[in-house]
Amino acid sequence: MSLPADGWKNKKGTGSRSCNCGSWKDHWINNSKKAWPSTCSISGCNNAATLGAHVINSKVSGEKIVPACASCNKLDSEFSLKGGVTLVSANKQETCEK
């Protein structure tokens, strides 16, 4: 299934959430089976990816985690993801707690 690049938004109110992985960055690494990327996943941004951001899209079921910088994790408007970005489910029952 191909996920849309456009129409993503940050999911608000997720700052206090935790998972068994230790951090959402570790959650992404553990569940993507990939190395952490050097740059943010948001199109047009070349800042270092420092955290796992909770993102949503009206055309995609559930919340996803993407590598992002702190600035892009605070965006209020819609944004696009870079091509080839790996999205990991934020649903712990589907990932680290199953």
Partners of residue 47 on adjacent β-strands: none
What number is the average pLDDT over the span 36-47?
Answer: 97
Query: Does residue 30 fall inside a structural domain?
Result: yes
Whole-angstrom Cα distance, residue 25 to residue 21? 9
Does position 2 have pLDDT exceeding 80, yes or no? no
Judge whether 3 lies within some domain. Answer: no
Is residue 95 in some structural domain?
no
Number of domains in the chain: 1
Task: Tell me if 46 is assigned to some domain.
Answer: yes
User: Residue 81: beta bridge partners?
Assistant: 42
> Residue 55 sits in which domain range?
8-89
> What share of the chain in percent tops pLDDT 90?
84
Order of strands, sheet of 8-10, starting from the edge strand that comes earlier in the sequence: 8-10, 51-57, 64-68, 88-89
Do the domain assignments include residue 98? Answer: no
Tell me if 20 is assigned to some domain.
yes
Max Cα–Cα distance, the chain, nearest Å: 35
**61 within domain boundaries:** yes
10 φ, ψ (degrees, to nearest 5): -75, 140
pLDDT classification of 44: cutoffs 50, 70, 90: very high
- pLDDT above 70: residue 1: no
